[in-house]
C-alpha cells in the first residue's frame, strides 16, 4: 500500500448543542461562533489542517441550515472545502464520516474531527498525526487520546494496550461515559485517555470496518451518495436511505468493535468547551479572574465569565457568576453550575419562549 | 378667605434619575415607566388625584424631551392636563412650582407632588389632605410627613412641633440629609417624619413666601411666564430669566425658612423607589422571594429582582441578585448594593459607552 502524501481533513459540523446557550442555539451552533479568540471554532479547525504540504482541501459535513454560514466562514478563512456535504438529516458521526469517505474515495487518508474543539498546541497535534500516519497507512483506525484532567463522566475513555510504535498503542477497550467511581479509577490508573473524537484512517479501512460491524450504515451511505445532487462544492446526499438509520456514533458503530484500532496519546491543550465553565477555565482571564468577551464590563467583580453579543452587560460587585447575553436572551448562573444550562432551556420551553 | 372646593394637582415630572439604570435613562426617566403594576408612575400619580369632586385637572411641569410621552400617557390614563408647562431648563422644584402657581392663579389650592412616588394607601393620603386643607385655606404651607422606617441618610426630615389641629402639626425644623447617627436618633425619637416632597398650599401663599425668602425665583418665574409661548395645553416659559437661576428645591428656598409651615404625618405606604432594592422591598414577590417583571424567569433562584424590558432573562441557581435587562444594557448587582448603580454608569461613561 502506498505511503500517504496528503491527508484530507473531514470537518464534522453537524452538531447544534445547547450547552453554551444562550450564545449557541439551533440557528447558530457553537462551531460557528468566535468563542475563544477572533476566529470561529470552525475557522480554527479548518486553519489547523490548512491545505498545504500536509493537507488537502477539507471535506465538511453539516446540516443544511448552516451551509451558507459555513461557506462564508471558510471563505473568510481561506479554506474553501473540496466538498460541503449537506446532511439531509442528522444521524450521528458514523454515517457522516461514511458519506465523506465515499466522497473522498477508498485511497484517501482522512482526518475526521469535530468542528468545535480547541487545540492550543497545534505542533503537538501535528506530531501525533505524524506518529499515527504509518499505522493508518497499514489500515489501522487511529484515534487521538487526551490525558484526562479530571474524572469527567461525560466523555468516552480509551484504555491503552500494547505499544505499536513510537507514541501509538493498540486500544485495549473503549468505555463510554463511565460512572464517577470508574472515571476516578481511570484518572488515577494512568492507562486511560479521553477520547477526543478525532480520527485518522484510510477511507477504505473505515468503509470495510463499517461493512463488517455496521453494514446498514454503509448501505445507506452508498445509496445516499448515489442519489446525491451536486451544485458547485455542495453535495446533497439522498434523504430516503439515511432517514431510515438510527443515530450512531463512530465509536459505537466501529471503534469499540474493530480489531485494528490504535490510540495516539497527545498533550495538545485540548478542550471541547462543553460548558461555560470550560470556557472560563480556558481563559484568558484578567487580574480579577474575569473572562470578559464582547460588550461587557466587570466593576468590583471577581471570578466571572461575562460575555455579550447583544446589550452591554455590567457586573457590579459580584463574584463567580457566569453572565451571558445576546439580543434575545440573558443567562445568569453561578460558576461551577453551567452544566445546568439545560434547566434554563427546559424552563423556557415550558413557558413556550424557546424553540 | 373662601373655603377651597377643588384642589389643583401640580405634577412635577422634571427628574431624570439614573438610580434605576438601566431601565431609567435620560430619554425615559423613572416616572414614565411601569415600575410597580401596569401603569407608569406618572399615570398612577395622575390617577391618585384624578379630576372629580376633590380635584381639578392637573398642571404638569416637565422637561421638553418628555412632553410627548407625558401627553400620551396622561391621555391613556384619562387625565389630560389643564396645562403642560415645559421647562426650558431644569432649576429644581422651587422654580417649577412657581411656574405652576403663576399659571394656576393666586386663589388656586395646589397639591404639588413628584410624579415618581408610590402611595399604596390612597385613602390615607386623601384623609391627610382633608386634615391639611383647613390650614392650607388659612395660608399655611403644608407638607406631608412619612414615619421613617429606617435611618435613611438620603432624605429630608421634619421635626413636629405644636399640634395645629387633628393630624396636623407646626413644623419645628427641617433637616436635609442628616448623618447616620442623627438619622438614627430621629428614628428612635419618634418626633421626626420623612419629608415626602408632597405639598398642599394656596398658590398665593407660596408666591408670597417666595417673595420674602427667594425673591429672585419669583422675579424669574414671572418674567418667564410673561414670555411664555402657548400652543394647546402646552406652555413654554421663556428661557432667559430661568437660565440665570441656580437650581433650588422648595425645601431649601421656602419651607425651611417660612413661618407658617405645617406637617401632616400620614402612614400611606409611601416609597420613592429610590433604588432597585426599594422596588424589591415593595414587592410583590413569589414564594421564593423573587420579584419577577417582564420577560424573565427564575429557576431554582431565591431573593432576586429579575426584570427585563428586552431579551428574556433566566436566572438559574442564584440568590439575592438584582438582574435588570433592557435592549441596550444589562445590570447584575447583589441585592442590598443597588445604590452602587452609579458606579456601573461611571464605568460605562469612562469607556464612552453611555451618554
- Rounded mean pLDDT of chain A? 94
pTM of the model as a whole: 0.87
Is the pLDDT assigned to residue B15 strictly greater than 80?
no
Q: What does the pLDDT look like over A44-77, one tens digit per residue? A: 999 999 888 899 999 999 999 999 999 999 999 9
Round to whole Å and give the CA distance between A163 and A132.
12
Distance in Å, alpha carbon of B277 to nearest chain A alpha carbon: 14
Read off the pLDDT of each residue in A153-167 and give the average, rounded to a whole number. Answer: 93
Q: Residue B330: its chain A contacts at CB < 8 A?
A: 308, 311-314, 323, 325, 330
Question: Distance between CA B135 and CA B40 in Å, rounded?
Answer: 32
Q: Which three cell numbers stand for residue A321?
A: 457568576
Distance CA A307, CA A301 (A): 14
Contact B214, B254 (CB under 8 A): yes
Q: Which helix (H) or strand (E) holds A164?
A: strand A156-165
**Region A265-283 average pLDDT:** 92
Angle A228-A230-A231 from CA coordinates, rounded to 5°: 155
Q: What is the pLDDT of residue B18?
A: 82
Q: Which of B295, B317, B348 minimises the CB distance to A337?
A: B317
Residue in A316, A331, A332 nearest the CB of B340: A316
Separation between Cα atoms, residue A257 and residue A245, nearest integer Å: 19
Q: Are the C-beta atoms of residues B337 and B30 closer than 8 Å to each other? A: no
CB nearest A314 (choices: B299, B331, B337): B331
Residue of A nearest to B347 (CA): A299
Interface test with B, best of A305, A312, A342 (most B CBs within 10 A): A312
Q: Which three cell numbers stand for residue A277?
A: 465553565
How much is the average pLDDT of B301-306?
Answer: 98
Cα(A325)–Cα(A238) distance, integer angstroms? 39
pLDDT at B51: 85
For residue A3, count other CB atoms closer than 10 A to its CB.
8
B17 within 8 A of B26, measured Cβ to Cβ: no
Residue B246 pLDDT > 90? yes
Give the cell for residue B30.
Answer: 423613572
pLDDT of residue A5: 72
Query: How far is A80 from A60, CA to CA, in rounded Å?
Result: 10
Whole-number Å distance between alpha carbons of A265 and B287: 52
Residues of A in contact with B351 (CB under 8 A): 297
Looking at residue B355, what is its pLDDT? 54
CB contact under 8 A, A311 and B326: yes
- Binary contact (A312, B347; C-beta < 8 A): no
Instruction: Quickly state the pLDDT bin for A218 (edges 50, 70, 90).
Output: very high
State residue B2's pLDDT score. Answer: 54
Q: How far is CA A32 from the centre of its chain?
A: 12
The torsion angles phi and psi of A237, rounded to 5 degrees, stand at -60, 155
Closest approach of chain A CAs to the CA of B63, in angstroms? 28
For residue B16, pLDDT beyond 80: no
Considering only CB atoms, A299 lies closest to which of B295, B313, B344, namely B344
Residues in chain A with CB shorter than 8 Å from the CB of B328 are: 311-312
Confidence check: pLDDT of B354 > 70: no
Task: Kindly state the average pLDDT of the residues B102-127.
Answer: 95
Q: Are B161 and B171 in contact (CB under 8 A)?
A: yes
Contact B348 A318 (CB under 8 A): no
- Per DSSP, the three-state class of A323 is strand
Omega before residue B22 within 30° of 0, cis: yes
Nearest by CB to A340, from B317, B323, B353: name it. B317
Instruction: Please check the confidence at residue A222 and state whether its pLDDT lies above 80.
Output: yes
Q: What counts of helices (H) and strands (E) characterise chain A? A: 11, 17
Test A311 with B310 for CB contact under 8 angstroms: yes
DSSP secondary structure code for residue B347 in this structure: H
Q: Which of A149-153, A279-283, A289-293, B174-178 has the highest mean pLDDT?
A: A289-293
Q: Is the predicted pLDDT of residue A2 greater than 70, yes or no?
A: no
| Contact criterion met (CB < 8 Å) for A331 and B314 | yes
CB contact under 8 A, B300 and A333: no
Nearest to B330 among A311, A353, A354 (CB): A311
Mean pLDDT of B84-90: 96
Q: Kindly tell me if the per-residue pLDDT of A318 is higher than 80.
A: yes
Residues in B closer than 8 angstroms to A344, CB to CB, are 297, 299, 314, 316
Smallest Cα distance from A335 to chain B, Å:
10
Which chain A residue has its CA at the smallest distance from B354's CA? Answer: A312
Complex ipTM tops 0.90: no
Number of H helices, E strands in chain B: 11, 17
Cβ–Cβ below 8 Å for B314 and A330:
yes
What are A158's strand-pairing partners? A174, A193
- What value, to the nearest 5°, has the Cα angle with vertex B7 and ends B2 and B8? 125
> Measured at the alpha carbon of residue A36, what is the angle toward residues A34 and A38, in degrees to the nearest 5?
50
- Shortest distance between the Cα of B305 and any Cα of chain A, in A, equals 12
**A226-242 pLDDT tens trace:** 999 999 999 999 999 99
For residue B3, what pLDDT is reported? 65
Percent of chain A scoring above 70 in pLDDT: 98
Mutate one of B316, B327, B341 to test the A interface: name it (highest A CB count within 10 A). B316
Q: Which pLDDT score, from 0 to 100, does residue B117 have?
A: 93
Nearest CA to CA, how far is A313 from chain B (Å)? 5
- Name residues whose C-beta falls within 8 Å of residue A130's C-beta, 6 or more positions apart in sequence: none
B1 pLDDT tier (thresholds 50, 70, 90): very low
Instruction: Pick from B53-57, B174-178, B220-224 the range whose average pLDDT is largest.
Output: B220-224
Cβ contact, residue pair A351, B297, below 8 Å = yes
Average pLDDT in chain B: 94
pLDDT, mean of residues B323-346: 95
d(CA A249, CA A246): 10
Residues in A touching B334 (Cβ below 8 Å): 317-318
Compute CA distances B147 → A30, A149, B186, B192, B256, whole Å: 56, 61, 10, 7, 19
- The pLDDT tens digits for B191-223 are 999 999 999 999 999 999 999 999 999 999 999
Which of chain B's residues have a Cβ under 8 Å away from the Cβ of A312?
Answer: 328-330, 348, 353-354
Instruction: Report the pLDDT value the prediction gives residue A355, as an integer from 0 to 100.
Output: 53
Cβ contacts of A327 on chain B, cutoff 8 Å: 311, 327
Contact residues on chain A for B329, CB-CB shorter than 8 A: 311-314
Average pLDDT (B270-286) is 92
C-alpha cell at B181: 447617627
With CB atoms and an 8 Å threshold, state whether B321 touches A326. no
Nearest chain B CA: its distance from A345 CA (Å): 9
Which residue in the block uniquely carries the three cell numbers 399640634? B163
Beta bridge partners of B321: B334
Model confidence pLDDT, tens digit, residues A161-202: 999 999 999 999 999 899 999 999 999 999 999 999 999 999
Positive or negative: CA dihedral B216, B221, B226, B227? positive
| Short-list B116, B120, B164, B171, CA closest to B145 | B171
What is the C-alpha separation between A62 and A71, in angstroms, rounded? 11
Residue given cell 434554563 in the structure block: A344
Give chain B's contact residues with A (Cβ, < 8 Å).
295, 297, 299-300, 308, 310-318, 321, 323, 325-334, 337, 340-341, 343-344, 347-348, 351, 353-354
Task: Say how many CA atoms lie within 13 Å of A272 toward its Cβ.
Answer: 18
Q: How confident is the model at residue A1 (pLDDT cuts 50, 70, 90)?
A: very low
Q: Give me the pLDDT at residue A354, please.
A: 59
Amino acid at each position: 500500500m502506498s505511503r500517504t502524501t496528503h491527508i484530507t481533513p473531514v470537518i464534522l459540523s453537524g452538531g447544534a448543542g445547547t450547552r453554551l446557550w444562550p450564545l449557541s442555539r439551533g440557528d447558530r451552533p457553537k462551531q460557528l461562533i468566535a468563542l475563544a479568540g477572533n476566529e470561529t471554532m470552525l475557522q480554527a479547525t479548518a486553519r489547523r489542517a490548512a491545505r498545504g504540504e500536509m493537507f488537502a482541501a477539507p471535506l465538511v459535513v453539516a446540516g443544511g441550515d448552516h451551509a451558507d454560514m459555513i461557506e462564508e466562514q471558510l471563505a473568510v478563512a481561506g479554506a474553501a472545502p473540496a466538498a460541503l456535504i449537506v446532511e439531509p438529516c442528522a444521524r450521528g458521526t458514523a454515517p457522516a464520516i461514511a458519506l465523506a469517505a465515499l466522497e473522498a474515495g477508498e485511497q484517501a487518508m482522512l482526518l475526521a474531527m469535530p468542528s468545535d474543539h480547541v487545540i492550543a498546541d497545534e505542533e503537538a497535534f501535528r506530531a501525533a498525526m505524524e506518529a499515527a500516519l504509518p499505522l493508518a497507512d497499514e489500515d489501522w483506525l487511529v484515534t487521538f487520546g487526551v490525558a484526562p484532567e479530571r474524572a469527567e463522566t461525560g466523555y468516552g475513555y480509551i484504555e491503552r494496550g500494547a505499544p505499536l510504535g513510537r507514541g501509538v498503542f493498540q486500544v485495549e477497550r473503549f468505555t463510554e461515559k463511565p460512572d464517577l467511581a470508574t472515571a476516578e479509577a481511570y484518572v488515577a490508573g494512568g492507562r486511560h485517555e479521553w477520547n477526543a473524537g478525532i480520527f485518522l484512517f484510510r477511507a477504505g479501512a473505515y468503509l470495510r470496518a463499517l461493512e463488517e460491524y455496521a453494514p446498514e450504515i454503509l448501505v445507506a451511505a452508498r445509496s445516499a451518495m448515489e442519489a446525491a445532487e451536486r451544485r458547485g462544492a455542495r453535495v446533497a446526499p439522498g434523504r430516503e436511505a439515511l432517514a431510515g438509520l438510527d443515530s450512531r456514533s463512530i465509536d459505537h458503530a466501529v471503534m469499540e468493535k474493530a480489531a485494528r484500532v490504535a490510540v495516539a496519546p497527545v498533550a495538545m491543550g485540548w478542550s471541547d468547551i462543553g460548558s461555560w465553565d470550560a470556557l472560563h477555565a480556558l481563559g484568558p482571564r484578567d487580574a480579577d479572574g474575569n473572562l470578559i468577551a464582547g460588550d461587557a464590563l466587570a466593576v468590583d467583580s471577581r471570578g466571572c465569565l461575562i460575555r455579550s453579543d447583544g446589550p452591554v452587560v455590567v457586573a457590579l460587585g459580584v463574584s463567580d457568576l457566569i453572565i451571558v447575553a445576546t439580543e434575545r436572551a440573558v443567562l445568569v448562573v453561578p460558576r461551577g453550575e453551567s452544566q445546568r444550562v439545560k434547566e434554563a432551556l427546559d424552563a423556557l420551553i415550558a413557558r413556550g419562549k424557546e424553540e
